[in-house]
Every structure is written in structure tokens, then in C-alpha cells.
Amino acid sequence: MLSKMKLIPHSHFGMKGRVQKHMLVYILVISSTLTILFDLSQIASIGAIFYLVMDLIFQWGVLRRIRKDINAKASIITLSIILNIIALSAFVWMKIQVDIFIIALAIILILIIFMGEHYFLKSYSSKD
């Protein structure tokens, strides 16, 4: 859906078939790479950081953009954001003590994703 809305890039890389089959290949490649490079606790840590950051961004977007449209209470969303920040901060602090490499990697990957998405949206919107 996001690919059809031109909100995320999608390349077929010469593969035949539908986007769903392509996503299976992408997930296979990503999960195989993660399995080869990291142990299970490191993969889980990266996933937890990505999820908490994504959740924060989603909640911030709801608060700033569509709160009135969906009749959401700002106090509930704000509390959720605060609790999310506390959970993320505690997790990052704990992981820094044990494995700072994973925190650095997660930050680098998040920055790469943001820059890639920014570039994609900028280049796509200039075509309209």
C-alpha cells in the first residue's frame, strides 16, 4: 500500500511477480544477514529500539496531525509519548552498559533510513 502511494521506494530488481513475493525475498535477505552477523539478543535489541522509535514517531504524528480528526485525547497521547521515552531511555542506557555497538548501529541505521526516506520523498515530490 505504501509503495503504491509512493511513500516508500520499491524496486523489482528484475524479479517477476507481485510486491508481496518481493517483500518475502527482502525479508529473507534481511533476516539471513541479521542471523549471520548478530546473535539473537542483539537482533532483539535492534528490533526493540526500532519499534520504540517508530512508535514515538507515530504517536507524535497522531498528536500533531490527526488528533482532532480521530477524536484522540492529547493527554493520553502525551502520556504515551512520555512513557515511551522513558522505556526507550532506560533500554538504551541498559544496553550502553553491555553492548554500545548495538546502540551505535541502531542510531546509524535509523539515520540512514531517515535520510533515504527524505531523499526518496524529495525526489518523488519534485517529479509531480
Q: What's the 3-state SS for the chain?
A: CCCCCCCCCCCCCCCCCCHHHHHHHHHHHHHHHHHHHCCHHHHHHHHHHHHHHHHHHHHHHHHHHHCCCCCCCHHHHHHHHHHHHHHHHHHHHHHHHHCHHHHHHHHHHHHHHHHHHHHHHHHHHHCC
pLDDT at 113 over 80: yes
Higher pLDDT, 25 or 22: 25
* 24-58 tens-digit pLDDT: 888 899 999 999 999 999 999 999 999 999 999 99
Which pTM value belongs to this model?
Answer: 0.80
User: Hey, where are the domains in the chain?
Assistant: 39-126
